Structure 1
Amino acid sequence: MRVTTRPAIPRRSALLAAPMLASACGAPWPGRGSPFVYRGGIGSRSDGPMMSQLSTPGGGFSTANRGNWWQQAYSVDSFSRLDDIWPSTRSAAATTPSPLRRRAGEPDIGFDGAPVHGLGRFSIDDYLSRNPTTGLLIIRDGEILVERYQYARHDRHRLTSFSMAKTLVAMLIGLALEEGHIGSIDQTAASIVPELLGSEYGATPLRHLLTMSSGIAFRETYDGRDDSAGLSRLTFGGQSAGGAAVPPFFNTRVAAPGRRWYYASSETFVLTLVLRRAIGRPIAEYFAEKLWQPLGAEADASWLTDRSGLEIGYMGFNAVLRDYGRLAMLLASGGQHGGRQLLPQGWLAAMTRAHFSGAETARWFGYGYQTWIFPPVEGGFALLGVRGQAIFVDPSRRLAMVHTAVRPDARDPGGADLAALWRGVKRHV
């Protein structure tokens, strides 16, 4: 087995020690927030739980910048306009948005709360008073059942995805494969991006990048000193231009490809390099043409980029809540929308089955192609991002739930409460 070392990653600003400062929090959230006001079936309020940690003394929200965007006190602002703070590019909306029906009155959904916030039987109002959610959308078969916003967020804010973006990259890899831009997922990354020749990532087949099993060491612990912080500095932090120079910074092989699962955003970044080179044009443009516009997206989406304009892919996709819902419905409907097969059915099936079990990931979820897979007893799959970003999908019910949040910690245990809410939603449906 060949073992190589990495060059030192430049340390530029405290920024990017960002992804990742941790603060443990397991107690119920203080403060319930004011009543929701409904307009056109959409519930919103200007506050929510944890206002003492998230807002200014006057009840507003501090403006974020590149130096503080990850800090809890600035996250309400930054997580809803990350594409204003960092370089980004757009995927244009559809000329005519596809209609979404809206149920007359929210369903009465109850759930059994997770121990982290206290056991008991709770409502959606209770959930939102226990969790720092910015947006919540529950949608079934194109009908919105619930749409809520907290902390003065609204339906025009582009809310950030964090690692939910990884699943979008896998979707686009499948389209590029179907169209012949990529010959096979058993090709190595260097066969498409020759600049990666001689690197461990370059020698890795795409199949094992898709399943996070390259066997290349990468530490993603969100402590501000890990490899994910280094990757951030090298990409949207402004130090890379075109991306191919980044993978050699992560170049120590510890296992043969396909033998060992380990979560690593660098795997997705290499896939992004491959995708961009394979299609020969910006990923945001390809995404808009193949998925965003055919879905009937009502607003532009955005992608964070490096200095060259390359979409970084492993995070940094931003969209309005209902458009996330349209995307979730595509996944819940077997890749079909409006009578068209937008995603190859076979590829979607491969993406959303567990190539590594929960026992192998040690995360409860199994893992497919850049997608988290619920245990068989639960069914379905999820797109997940740190600090509370999630899309849960149950194709058997044509049901999905979109959740954006400003949780205080990348490893925040409140996600258990979200999973409990999802079980309650499925029971109701």
Structure 2
Amino acid sequence: MRTAWIALSAVALWGCAPRAEMPAPAPAPAAQDEARLCQVGAAVLFWSQEERLRNFPAMEKIFPGNTVRAGGKVRPLPDGAPLPLAEAEVDAFMKAQSVAGLIVLQDGKVRLERYALGYSREGRWTSFSVAKSVTSTLVGAAIRDGYIKSLDEPVTKYIPDLAGAGYDGVTIKQLLTMTSGVKWNEDYTDPNSDVARMFAEAVPAGQDPTVAYMRKLPRVEQPGAKFVYKTGETNLIGVLVRRATGRKLADYLSEKVWRRYGMERDAFWMTDQSGAEVSGCCLSVSLRDYARIGQLTLDGGKGIVPEGWFADATRTHATFPGGGYGYQWWTLPGGFYAAQGIFGQVILVDPATRLVMVASSAWPKATDTDMRNARLAFALKVLDAAKK
């Protein structure tokens, strides 16, 4: 499951690979943004712990992005009975995992809420790949609104520039479940991998950089046959939603989720060098609003997504050794599902107990098996305590 927690390549995400073959762009705001992205984005995976603690709650001060506006009506999160967990045990978990924010909801009530490392209820923290699960929710919203007719439609209906390439015959559902059958190399240590080269090549005028690269990739499996984690395909989902709706992702998310469900604070969505939201990454959201995202899935999303959307999105559609994948949600043994991002970001949901646990963290490594297992062990203690 190594790629499950490696949410991005700074090179691929922000287009910072060497571009010796490309002419220098004329000075412009977009070019200035790209320069900032290259200078800072390429270092994200290698920030010191001090830099992570300083920057994870302040990404909007470093990168360009769009605001996801909240509305005036906030969905309340009333206090519930405190979880019967020893305070020392919670403190030890947060310290060991460099957790800045931890919240547990059960039946929509707050049973545990803690902050550390200078973070607070008024702050925001970056999501990394937790954003993928949010992007998939916008697909559901677009279906409900009639912009997208069905998950069984071909991707090329909405992104016709992919026609005649490896994505011929691939459905939206297969894109969501990363089972397109299109060849992809997600090895972040290989400079020749797709994830490293994705934005390193010249883009023909008028073409979307994601689409321009993805249309070059060959088909190696039958669509639907095999799960292969592809950051590029999540970016394609963002392209698809933007084209189907004619809206910026931040604006559509504001209308369909942030305002309608009652999020408490504005969110920030980082944009790439073309000015489009990075649909597979990099929302900055408050701790309580992350919890509301989890609660939204339990509540069913009435008026936001079609009936039954979240039940379908969070069940296993594709499997691999050790786990499963839904519509940009990870499915875990025991009936849990999760949105996950590197450096310890997680929204874990247990439908059986109607429990949501969110951790916003700054792990010392992007991925760490021991820390992931320790977090799961703590989550199981939380679940056990919630049943008492």
Amino acid at match of 2:317: H
Match of 2:323 in 1: 365
Give SS of 1:144's match: strand
Judging changes above 3 Å, is the alpha-carbon distance between structure 1 residues 255 and 138 closer, same or farther for their aligned structure 2 residues?
Answer: same
Number of residue equivalences = 348
Q: Deviations over 1:365-387 (max 9, x none)?
A: 21111111122xx1121111112
Counterpart contact for 1:163–1:315, Cα < 8 Å: yes
Post-superposition offset of 1:172: 1.1
1:420 paired with 2:387, answer: no
1:393 paired with 2:349, answer: yes
Match of 1:207 in 2: 173
Give SS of 1:219's match: coil
Measure the CA separation in 2 of the matches of 1:123 and 1:420: 12
Amino acid at match of 2:318: F
Counterpart contact for 1:72–1:408, Cα < 8 Å: no
Q: 1:81 aligns with which of 58, 62, 67?
A: 58
Greater share of residues in helix: 2
Judging changes above 3 Å, is the alpha-carbon distance between structure 1 residues 421 and 293 closer, same or farther for their aligned structure 2 residues?
Answer: same
Amino acid at match of 2:44: W
Measure the CA separation in 1 of the matches of 2:281 and 2:254: 17
Query: Which runs of 5 or more residues in structure 1 are unaligned?
Result: 1-10, 18-63, 112-121, 235-239
Measure the CA separation in 2 of the matches of 1:14 and 1:204: 26
Amino acid at match of 2:323: F
1:283 paired with 2:249, answer: yes
Counterpart contact for 1:93–1:296, Cα < 8 Å: yes
Measure the CA separation in 2 of the matches of 1:411 and 1:221: 14
Judging changes above 3 Å, is the alpha-carbon distance between structure 1 residues 185 and 15 closer, same or farther for their aligned structure 2 residues?
Answer: closer
Match of 2:318 in 1: 356
Match of 1:6 in 2: none
1:228 paired with 2:195, answer: yes
Query: Which runs of 5 or more residues in structure 2 are unaligned?
Result: 1-10, 18-38, 202-206
Post-superposition offset of 1:227: 3.2
Measure the CA separation in 2 of the matches of 1:425 and 1:141: 14
Give SS of 1:295's match: helix
Amino acid at match of 2:330: W
Give SS of 1:260's match: coil
Match of 2:309 in 1: 347
Match of 1:323 in 2: 289
Normalising by structure 2, we get a TM-score of 0.82
Normalising by structure 1, we get a TM-score of 0.74
Match of 1:142 in 2: 108
Q: 1:254 aligns with which of 220, 240, 262?
A: 220
Q: 1:71 aligns with which of 31, 34, 46?
A: 46
Counterpart contact for 1:172–1:287, Cα < 8 Å: yes
Give SS of 2:262's match: coil
Measure the CA separation in 2 of the matches of 1:98 and 1:215: 41
Amino acid at match of 2:348: F
Counterpart contact for 2:12–2:197, Cα < 8 Å: no
Give SS of 1:392's match: strand
Measure the CA separation in 2 of the matches of 1:224 and 1:158: 33
Counterpart contact for 1:301–1:318, Cα < 8 Å: yes
1:108 paired with 2:74, answer: no
Post-superposition offset of 1:342: 3.0
